[in-house]
Chain A
Amino acid sequence: MRQRLIRELAVLALRSPECLPGFTPAEWSLLVRQARNSGVLARLQARLEAQGTLQDVPLAARNHLEAARRIADKQMQSARWEIVQIRAALEDSGIPVVLLKGAAYLAAGLPPAIGRMFADIDIMVPETALEQVEKRLMLHGWMAEKLHPYDQRYYREWMHELPPLRHCRRGTVIDVHHGILPRTSRYALDSRLLHEAAVPVGDGSALRMLAPADMVLHSIVHLFCDGEFDRGLRDLYDIDDLIVHFSADPAFPARLADRAIALGIARPLYYALVWRQRLLGKPAHEDLEPAMRAGAPGPVIGLLMSALLERAMLPSHPSCDQAFTGVARNLLYMRGHWLRMPPRLLLPHLWRKAWRGDSEN
């Protein structure tokens, strides 16, 4: 096995499943572990099942694929129930509730839902309704976990979400957002625009989801502005699935480009499209060109980000690491913070985190 190939087994398997029959048992074991660590093992199972080639996978590896799918399906089932509970808590309030990410894919039956691991449910409500939503959720059993007063302030003053609310009996967690980027972010994005464009999820309820272009952009912003790339491959596939799905409408690519420019987030869209091409082999539609041009970084930043993402987008598994992978992940993590808040907030924040670091972990 050549070095490059080993590192990219999970990438290769999802991009070109036709090469899987040539995999040796040792390659299969690395593939399973890379795919698991980047959250795409169940998705790989779903893809092979849909293609009818799952039976060709050697039994030992297939067991791991099927197990991951069982877990994903179970999480999907629990998430469905959780969405019913959220409806019960919020529907009659008249507050527009927008399902985000996995919950939206699931409720609307969008392709990334299949084989996707769920941790918590994300919803977005207007900022003015936050207090009422939190109260209502509390009446239905969701409680804010005990947090350090500083963390409370961090969430409530600077972030785009409340501290996570955990259900006292089911143990499930909701993240209540009022935007898709922190209040203090470099990208000033007016979340009212997202609410205005939101559409019904189509399950007959009053629940809403982001409009197609916004949904793709949210997934992109989440991946490229947050600073954590452990599940980068999973997120990139979410983005790809959504783009493919929505591109059934030929006007979609142009709309995506316009929206990214209008919302001032062409840069993350640029990175997503570049990495979609590099790792998934899918070139961007020509109608996306204007956004690519508007979002392209200068040459120095471009080269630096290339070097960092080339390392961090691969699964977080020792077999994928090359020189400076750890450094790249750390730098991207710092970049995530840098984008999240201006230096006058960031420096004191990191200082506090560093001081408290040991007592927390």
Chain B
Amino acid sequence: MRVADLSDAELRAALQGDGLDIRTGPFACRIRSELPDIADNIGLLYADQPLGQSDEFIDFDVRIAPPRGLRRWWRPQVLFRYDDWVPFKPLPADQAVPMLEWGLNWCVSSHAHQYLILHAAVLEKDGRALIFPAPPGSGKSTLCAALACHGWRLLSDELGLIDLQDGHCHGLARPVNLKNRSIDVLQERLPEAVFSRPFRDTAKGTVALMRPPEESVRRAAEPAMPGWIVSVRYEAGARTHFKACGKGRMFMQVANTAFNYILLAQRGFRSLGQLVRTSDCYELVYSDLDDVLALFDRLEPPETREVAG
């Protein structure tokens, strides 16, 4: 069963009652909320996500709810609750939906230490992972959304999970978080894609969420071998500039943005070393999306080229 198989009333009843159990990649999440905004957007953005089985292990039990007291009515706010715990300050009620997304990201990045957790967008093609490490504002989400609707499978727009045992990349196939100008750009380019309404004045400016393509959700449990790591920078008016990048430098860039590199200590060092060694590393400066999509279409997987060379 998928979320879309529930009627609107069933979806709301689950969210308001014992919780809606959904699977996102390797994790089972239980979501509760009485807010209509959350129900509407889960119905919209998580439509293809599989529902959890009954009596399943739940990784993250979260709730989006108004705080007690005055702020329920006066300039209403919402809280993200993880079990009974409130890890963040409240946000204006209008930002409940992005708050759920950020909260679920936080759940993964602060608990799933069986992975090296990269702050990165990750896509897949022919079994190989394409990784765009942060920093935010680099245009990685824009590129990620465009590629996800252009023959690449979305693993995650925000969190790259590297298995510490076998080095494979796992994804979440959750909605893609778009910011500011890239919202209009992508809505125009991708008329078939499904977007949430814009949420204004958040900490990251205006934010909108794009529903992950159906195929990426259906195949969310399939990991990918490392393929390419590309450090991206959007620069208005720039010509596409794509060149190989030193592996040492890439190692440092990814290490600096990973969530639990320091926590994992030696295992993190080894895992990241293996990831960088087995991936081709590039730097990309771009402004023209079409140009970049064509470029990634031509990208060859690391080993094939090694064999050919």
Binds B, one of A55-63, A91-99, A235-243, A265-273: A55-63
Would A64 and B111 count as touching, CB distance under 8 A? Answer: yes
Would A317 and B113 count as touching, CB distance under 8 A? Answer: no
Q: A71-B263, A317-B83 are in contact. List 9 more A-B contacts (CB 8 A).
A: A25-B55, A28-B57, A29-B58, A33-B61, A64-B111, A67-B113, A70-B113, A317-B84, A318-B84
B 98-116 binary contact with A (CB < 8 Å = 1; else 0): 0000000000000111100
Q: A63-B112, A66-B114 are in contact. Are A29 and B57 (CB under 8 A)?
A: yes
List of B residues within 8 angstroms of A66 by Cβ: 113-114
| A74 to B111 Cα, complex, angstroms | 14
B126 beta carbon closer than 8 Å to chain A: no
Q: Which B residues between 222 and 268 are near A, CB-CB below 8 angstroms?
A: 262-265
A-B contacts, 25 of them at CB < 8 A, read A26-B57, A26-B58, A29-B56, A29-B57, A29-B58, A29-B59, A33-B61, A36-B83, A37-B83, A37-B85, A60-B28, A60-B57, A60-B59, A61-B57, A63-B112, A64-B111, A66-B113, A67-B111, A70-B113, A70-B263, A70-B264, A74-B262, A74-B263, A317-B84, A318-B83
- B89 nearest in chain A by CB position: A361
A51 beta carbon closer than 8 Å to chain B: no
Would A26 and B263 count as touching, CB distance under 8 A? Answer: no
| A61 to B85 Cα, complex, angstroms | 20
List of A residues within 8 angstroms of B55 by Cβ: 24-26
A219 beta carbon closer than 8 Å to chain B: no
| A26 to B57 Cα, complex, angstroms | 5
Q: Which B residues between 111 and 151 are near A, CB-CB below 8 angstroms?
A: 111-114
List of A residues within 8 angstroms of B58 by Cβ: 26, 29
| A33 to B114 Cα, complex, angstroms | 17
Q: Which A residues between 1 and 48 are near B, CB-CB below 8 angstroms?
A: 24-26, 28-29, 33, 36-37
Q: How large is the interface on B (under 10, 10 to 19, 20 to 34, 35 or more residues)?
A: 10 to 19
| A28 to B58 Cα, complex, angstroms | 9
- A25 nearest in chain B by CB position: B57
- B85 nearest in chain A by CB position: A37
| Most-contacted residue by chain A among B59, B83, B263 (CB, 10 A) | B83
- Write the nearest CB–CB distance from B61 to chain A, whole angstroms: 7
Give the total of A residues in contact with B, Cβ under 8 Å. Answer: 21
List of B residues within 8 angstroms of A71 by Cβ: 113, 263
B114 is contacted by which of A25, A36, A67 (Cβ under 8 Å)? A67
| A318 to B58 Cα, complex, angstroms | 15
Would B112 and A67 count as touching, CB distance under 8 A? Answer: yes
B 33-65 binary contact with A (CB < 8 Å = 1; else 0): 000000000000000000000011111010000
Which 3 A-B pairs have CB atoms at the shortest separation, nearest pair first?
A: A67-B113, A60-B57, A25-B57
List of B residues within 8 angstroms of A64 by Cβ: 59, 111
| A63 to B26 Cα, complex, angstroms | 11
A74 is contacted by which of B59, B83, B265 (Cβ under 8 Å)? B265
List of A residues within 8 angstroms of B85 by Cβ: 37
- Write the nearest CB–CB distance from B50 to chain A, whole angstroms: 15
A 61-95 binary contact with B (CB < 8 Å = 1; else 0): 10110110011001000000000000000000000
- Write the nearest CB–CB distance from A222 to chain B, whole angstroms: 22
| A37 to B83 Cα, complex, angstroms | 9
- Write the nearest CB–CB distance from B295 to chain A, whole angstroms: 37
- Write the nearest CB–CB distance from A7 to chain B, whole angstroms: 14
| A285 to B58 Cα, complex, angstroms | 41
- Write the nearest CB–CB distance from B57 to chain A, whole angstroms: 4
List of B residues within 8 angstroms of A28 by Cβ: 57
B 250-290 binary contact with A (CB < 8 Å = 1; else 0): 00000000000011110000000000000000000000000
- Write the nearest CB–CB distance from A255 to chain B, whole angstroms: 40
List of B residues within 8 angstroms of A74 by Cβ: 262-263, 265
Q: A24-B55, A60-B57 are in contact. Are A37 and B113 (CB under 8 A)?
A: no
A 306-345 binary contact with B (CB < 8 Å = 1; else 0): 0000000000111000000000000000000000000000
List of B residues within 8 angstroms of A25 by Cβ: 55-57
| A346 to B59 Cα, complex, angstroms | 43
- Write the nearest CB–CB distance from B261 to chain A, whole angstroms: 12
List of A residues within 8 angstroms of B57 by Cβ: 25-26, 28-29, 58, 60-61
Would A316 and B84 count as touching, CB distance under 8 A? Answer: yes
- Write the nearest CB–CB distance from A341 to chain B, whole angstroms: 28
List of B residues within 8 angstroms of A70 by Cβ: 113, 263-264
| A28 to B61 Cα, complex, angstroms | 13
| A67 to B264 Cα, complex, angstroms | 10
| A29 to B53 Cα, complex, angstroms | 14
- Write the nearest CB–CB distance from A359 to chain B, whole angstroms: 14
- A71 nearest in chain B by CB position: B263
- Write the nearest CB–CB distance from A358 to chain B, whole angstroms: 10
List of B residues within 8 angstroms of A67 by Cβ: 111-114
| A24 to B57 Cα, complex, angstroms | 8
- B56 nearest in chain A by CB position: A25
List of B residues within 8 angstroms of A36 by Cβ: 83
Q: A66-B113, A70-B263, A71-B113 are in contact. Are A33 and B83 (CB under 8 A)?
A: yes
List of A residues within 8 angstroms of B111 by Cβ: 64, 67
| A342 to B265 Cα, complex, angstroms | 49
| A241 to B297 Cα, complex, angstroms | 61
| A316 to B84 Cα, complex, angstroms | 8
| A63 to B84 Cα, complex, angstroms | 21
| A25 to B57 Cα, complex, angstroms | 5
- B27 nearest in chain A by CB position: A60
